[in-house]
Amino acid sequence: MMGTTPPTLSGAMPAMVGKKVWTSQPQVAAPIDLGLSPGFVFLGSVGADLVTGKSLTQINGSHLATRSPAVAGIGFKPGGGAPYASGLHSLAKQAFILSEGASLVWVGVISQADASNSTVASRWSNFTDASNYAGQWRLEISATKEIRLAIRADAGTTTTISSGLTLTVGKQSVITVTMLSSSVLFSLNGVTATQSATPQTNAGGGGNNVNIAVGTTSAGGYNGHQYTNCALFYGVYGNPPDNPWQIFAPLPKQVWVPA
């Protein structure tokens, strides 16, 4: 009869429970590491925010953001009457702004640049600058494949910060943005660049009534990047893990050892 421990000449071998860290994309909704203080965690393979448990939803019906069948993440296809993608979004547990110490992490593949549709992720409700839109941000890829960040600080005026880092299309990229006291630290696959920037302190926009999106949010226009496949996207307060997949809590792993 088979038991829970393998028999040996000297008897059974006891099981020791260790921990196995994540180094690649889980295909199920794995537990997240709450010690990293995540504001939201979008896992592409399940299309949901693991902090709230909410599925990501289509933003509008005229410019579709269609989930790709690829298990690697959330992809977009042209839809509706024009070749644009908007996005898929969810209302986060709290208003996530790029205050000092806050970080964004995006993992995915961009197959080509798109001059008209640059937004790969955002919390952005309106293209008209105003103080009540303070705290909003867009992570963008320019026509020349450069990583950029557009933010509205407390006055609500849009500032676009260019990183100087250029990604390779068709290759999985890990993009990290960390806001410091007077600058923003960009990282692309471990290569870093620091640019001057002012952190946000005001959530603006009615507080937490602005959804976070892969692509662009509902009132942010139709400029969601349509040549992306997002495997993972999250925001944390504090430094992100060295390996982006370690936002997920280590899983118990049984290890057999001699008695």
For the record, the structure tokens of 115 come out as 């001059």
76 falls within a domain: yes
Which CATH number is 70's domain given?
2.60.120.200
| Structure token digits, residue 247 | 């936002």
* Structure confidence at residue 68 (pLDDT): 55
Q: Count the neighbouring beta carbons within 10 Å of the beta carbon of residue 91.
A: 16
Cα–Cα dist 191/63, whole Å: 35
Residue 107: C-alpha distances to residues 68, 207, 215, 225, 251 (Å): 16, 27, 13, 14, 21
Residue type, 230: C
pLDDT tens column, 215-233: 887 665 667 777 888 899 9
CB 146 within 8 A of CB 166: yes
Give a yes or no: residue 10 inside a domain.
Answer: no
Q: Does residue 11 lie in a domain region?
A: no
Residue 238: per-residue pLDDT: 87
- Domains in the chain: how many in total? 1
| E strand spans, 180-258 | 183-188, 191-196, 212-215, 228-237, 251-256
Domain contains 6: no
Strand pairing class (137-141; 173-179): unpaired
> Range of 98's domain?
36-243
Domain-embedded: residue 58: yes
What is the rounded distance in angstroms from the CA atom of residue 224 to the CA atom of residue 76? 9
3-state SS class at 253? strand
13 inside domain: no
Per the domain annotation, does 253 fall within a domain?
no
Low-confidence ranges of the chain (pLDDT < 50): 1-9, 69, 79-81
Q: Is residue 252 part of a domain?
A: no
Of the candidates 155, 149, 127, 154, the one whose C-alpha atom is nearest the C-alpha of residue 137 is 149
Determine which helix (DSSP H) or strand (DSSP E) holds 160, and give its type and residue range: strand 158-166
pLDDT at residue number 175: 97
d(CA 116, CA 140): 11
